[in-house]
């Protein structure tokens, strides 16, 4: 199935996913506070992508990827409104400048976004995956696990489809409140990769007997 996906925050993660999903045949809109910049990036990426302002992107897309910095949430919300009926894929890790989580195990960015957009279908996904692994999620012949959580079955089905298209093994880990566990998992990966000397060429995999 083909989706119209709006990327709110065309940074490295947003552009990487936009490229992959565009090549897979999905309709991609890059949304930025600087529409001209978004248009330039879209024209460079090709695959009939479009660049627009944030509000226009939210209006035109059926699915929104939130890939902007955590501190920008309030400003983005002011521009895009309630997003009623939209799918919101939240891949944000609320990491502070000190390297810790702005929200901990008792609350999460995923839950906060779900609370701020109660009329949308919010799902936490793709936050624990290193950006370069989106391009090649296969490790030693096995697909990396793409965990996701949401209160919406509709959002879960769409993310599972997108993840499987990309070559991941999608795994449902329950309701959106489980984002409070998924976000620290991303921080654990960062610590292991960049602060413990392991490097980034590893991922987390669910193994079943």
156, 123 contact by CB (below 8 A): yes
In a domain, 32, yes or no: yes
* pLDDT (tens digit per residue) in 29-46: 999 999 999 999 999 998
Burial of residue 20 (number of CB atoms within 10 Å: 0-12, 13-18, 19+): middle
Which pLDDT score, from 0 to 100, does residue 48 have? 82
Q: How many residues does the chain have?
A: 209
Residue 204: inside a domain: no
Q: Is residue 202 part of a domain?
A: no
CA distances from 200 to 84, 159, 197 (A): 37, 24, 9
Residue 207 included in any domain:
no
Give CA–CA dist 111/121, Å, rounded: 12
Look at residue 99 and tell me if it is in a domain: yes
Residue 87: CATH number of its domain: 3.40.50.720
**Could you give the number of structural domains in the chain?**
1
- Is 130 part of any domain? yes
Interval 163-189 mean pLDDT: 97
CA pair distance 192, 141, nearest whole angstrom? 22
Per the confidence metrics, is the pTM higher than 0.85? Answer: yes
Asked if the structure places residue 200 within a domain, the reply is no
Q: Which residue range is the domain that position 72 belongs to?
A: 4-195
Rounded mean pLDDT, 23-32: 96
92-140 pLDDT per residue, tens: 999 988 888 998 789 999 999 999 999 999 999 999 999 999 999 999 9
User: What's the pLDDT at 154?
Assistant: 98
């Amino acid at each position: 199935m083909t989706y119209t996906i709006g990327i709110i925050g065309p940074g490295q993660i947003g552009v990487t996913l936009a490229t992959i999903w565009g090549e897979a045949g999905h309709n991609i809109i890059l949304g930025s506070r600087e529409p001209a910049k978004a248009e330039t990036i879209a024209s460079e990426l090709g695959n009939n992508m479009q660049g627009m302002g944030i509000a226009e992107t939210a209006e035109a897309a059926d699915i929104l990827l939130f890939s902007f910095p955590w501190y920008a949430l309030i400003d983005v919300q002011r521009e895009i409104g309630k997003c009623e009926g939209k799918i919101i894929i939240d891949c944000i890790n609320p990491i502070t400048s000190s390297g810790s989580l702005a929200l901990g195990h008792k609350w999460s960015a995923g839950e906060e976004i779900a609370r701020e957009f109660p009329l949308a279908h919010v799902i936490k996904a793709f936050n624990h995956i290193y950006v370069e692994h989106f391009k090649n999620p296969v490790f030693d012949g096995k697909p990396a696990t793409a965990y996701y959580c949401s209160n919406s079955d509709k959002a879960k089905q769409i993310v599972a489809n997108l993840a499987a298209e990309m070559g991941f093994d999608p795994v449902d880990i329950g309701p959106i409140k489980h984002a409070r566990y998924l976000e620290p998992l991303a921080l654990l990966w960062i610590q292991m990769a960049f602060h413990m000397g392991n490097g980034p060429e590893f991922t987390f995999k669910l193994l079943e007997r």
